[in-house]
Amino acid sequence: MTDAETSPDGWKTVRADGYVDLIGPLLRRTIGGETVYGLQTAEKHRNFLGLVHGGVLTGLLDQVLAVVAWNAADRAPTVTVQMDTRFLGAAKAGDFLEVHARLRHATRSLIFIDGDISSRTGPIAAASAVMKIARQTEAPR
């Protein structure tokens, strides 16, 4: 499929490998100078109630927060140390989800970041995370 077939107008696919390929594609666009991320949900994202599974929501938040932390760390690898998630509402399979993330604070080794997911019906989830900057000083074995 092309971006035009899977992405709403103005959204571009974020090229990413691994886990995000299973739930994605992850989308992004710039709105008023802020990069916003998105996910078009489908039947594959639903639980037995027809709602988007909480694991999809936490995985989406973790991925977006990691991308924003990676950019804040001058593209050094970052790993999640802690992520606290609050579920605020429900999304149905087929809903388009938007994710906003904000850098709260950064040190030489840690990034503190917040994010939230919403849909056309309102807030869905919010998270606060601590990301560790994993600067490699020697090649992995």
CATH number for 29: 3.10.129.10
Q: Say if residue 136's pLDDT is above 80.
A: no
Residue 137: what pLDDT? 61
CB-side neighbour CA atoms (13 Å) of 87: 11
Q: Say if residue 10's pLDDT is above 90.
A: no
Which residues are CB-neighbours of 100 under 8 A, at least 6 positions away? 34, 36, 37, 115, 116, 118
Q: What phi and psi, each to the nearest 5 degrees, are found at residue 126?
A: -140, 155
Answer yes or no: is 41 within a domain: yes
Answer yes or no: is 98 within a domain: yes
State the DSSP H helix or E strand holding residue 63, giving kind and residue range, or none if neither. helix 54-72
Q: Domain limits at 39?
A: 3-133
Q: Say if residue 23's pLDDT is above 60.
A: yes
Answer yes or no: is 138 within a domain: no
Which residues are CB-neighbours of 25 under 8 A, at least 6 positions away? 6, 7, 13, 14
Answer yes or no: is 140 within a domain: no
- Average predicted confidence (pLDDT) for the chain: 89
Answer yes or no: is 111 within a domain: yes
pTM given for the model: 0.86
Answer yes or no: is 18 within a domain: yes
Answer yes or no: is 101 within a domain: yes
* Dist. CA 51–CA 119, nearest whole Å: 13
Domain count, the chain: 1
| 6: exposed, middle or buried (Cβ count in 10 Å: 0-12, 13-18, 19+) | middle
Structure tokens at 63: 């991925």
Answer yes or no: is 78 within a domain: yes
